[in-house]
Amino acid sequence: MNNFLVTGPLAEAPSFASAPPAAPSNVNRTKIRRSALISSRKTKILLYSHDTFGLGHLRRNLAIADRLLAQDGQFSVRLLTGSPVIDHWSLPRGLQVHAMPAVVKDGAERYRSHDPRSMFALTKGYREALIVKSVLHYRPDIVLVDHAPAGMNGELLAALSLIRRELPGTRTILGLRDILDAPSIVKQVWDEQEIPTLLNQAYDQIFVYGSQSLFDVAANYGLTGRCAASVRYCGYVVAAPDAPSRTLNEPVTGPCWSAERAAGRPVVLVTAGGGGDGFFLMDAYLNAIRPLACCPSYSVIVMGPLMDAAQKAALRAAAEHRPDIELIDHTTNLVPSLRAANLAVAMAGYNTSAEIIATRTRAILVPRTAPRAEQMIRASLLAHLGVVDMVVPGPDLVDQLTRALTTGLTTPAPDPGLWESLDLNGAQRVTAHVSAMVPHDRERAW
């Protein structure tokens, strides 16, 4: 982290809260017109989403962008994303998207280029240059960084230094999901990478997309002093699929399955988010439902856009000649399907869990156990609260799923009152916090 340079402490940067100097009484009409133009211009928001694995970061940023762009023209929003599926995704109307070359995460802090013909060092260098160029050309009022304080493999450091040196009026925000990893691991990695120092010098606020009552990020990850004071708990960020500002590449008006094929049977929706590591769950599920003829149901398995083609072929082969199973390649809007399902069987990724909470769907969560403990912690907390059931993957996963499915399809849903402690206004609260950071007089930012 020693290549991150700043010119002075954060406290020395100009504050949006400071009052502008009073205008002289003899100001001319030209200046008056210019001041009116400045005060009416849109606030420019730059969203950064590294997107090295899965769909969680992309979907969270799109939900936030959607809410920002719905504010009567108050904001201009630009998204820097490394997602390899951005061209196929549903985008909010008015969002400017700048795609970075995709990278793949091979393990803890290990990456490679998505394109095997490109060296990782060259890909990273291009991404880093693109980020700096975007900051210089767009000159954002607010930069909202998703998840990674230094960016993928440190690619944000040059841009963060540039902002502090050359754009002192730009406010920087780090947005963290509810749970990153086990507290001991996060604190160790953050200490090794000097993240606490980076947070103090490069960021004005920290938004947490979760509930403090469920998981206190500041306390668990050892944030103290100014960092702890800058934390704002926003609640879970959930996409609003019916928002008027949204333009869908493929219209979605209801569940993703065939109502004729389901024929009134209880529907079990199986999903693993992007699907990149979800084959184990879907394969186990297909084996688990074999002995459940006494409790007939209709299974809808959404494989996900990031699942390997060979794994999709294996699932199709296993489900062949099964009229009670429907395989869906992917959907860009899972919420209507969750609302209509009788039971969901899912991994415990951030977005899937948040959408299950939002739709109050009866659910069995099967969290991955590596490389991070994030999903295990999230599923355990939600199961302890009583809003979901949890199955821990192991050698007996098929038997565990069989028992959990029998219970899930035959017992009442959780008490509705149990959901009330989970705040789902994340995108709305992010917009409110960002609006509060915008200067009333933007002349200094020009």
pLDDT digits (tens, 9 = 90+) for 269-316: 999 988 888 999 999 999 999 876 545 889 999 999 889 999 999 999
Which whole number is the average pLDDT over 231-243? Answer: 80
SS3 label, residue 131: helix
Q: 272: buried, middle or exposed (CB in 10 Å: 19+, 13-18, 0-12)?
A: buried
Angstrom distance (rounded) from CA 284 to CA 168: 53
Angstrom distance (rounded) from CA 46 to CA 52: 19
Average pLDDT, the chain: 84
CA atoms 417, 418, 421, 427: torsion sign: negative
**CATH label, 259-421, candidates 3.40.50.300, 3.40.50.2000, 3.40.50.460, 3.30.420.40:** 3.40.50.2000
What is the dihedral angle through the alpha carbons of 362, 334, 385, 61, rounded to the nearest 10 degrees? 180
Q: Is 90 exceeded by the pLDDT of residue 252? A: no
pLDDT digits (tens, 9 = 90+) for 125-143: 999 999 999 999 999 999 9
In CATH, the number for domain 28-238+426-445 is 3.40.50.2000
pLDDT digits (tens, 9 = 90+) for 15-71: 333 333 343 344 444 433 433 344 458 999 999 998 766 677 888 999 999 999 999
Angstrom distance (rounded) from CA 35 to CA 32: 5
Overall pTM > 0.85: no
CATH 3.40.50.2000 residue window(s) in the chain: 28-238+426-445, 259-421
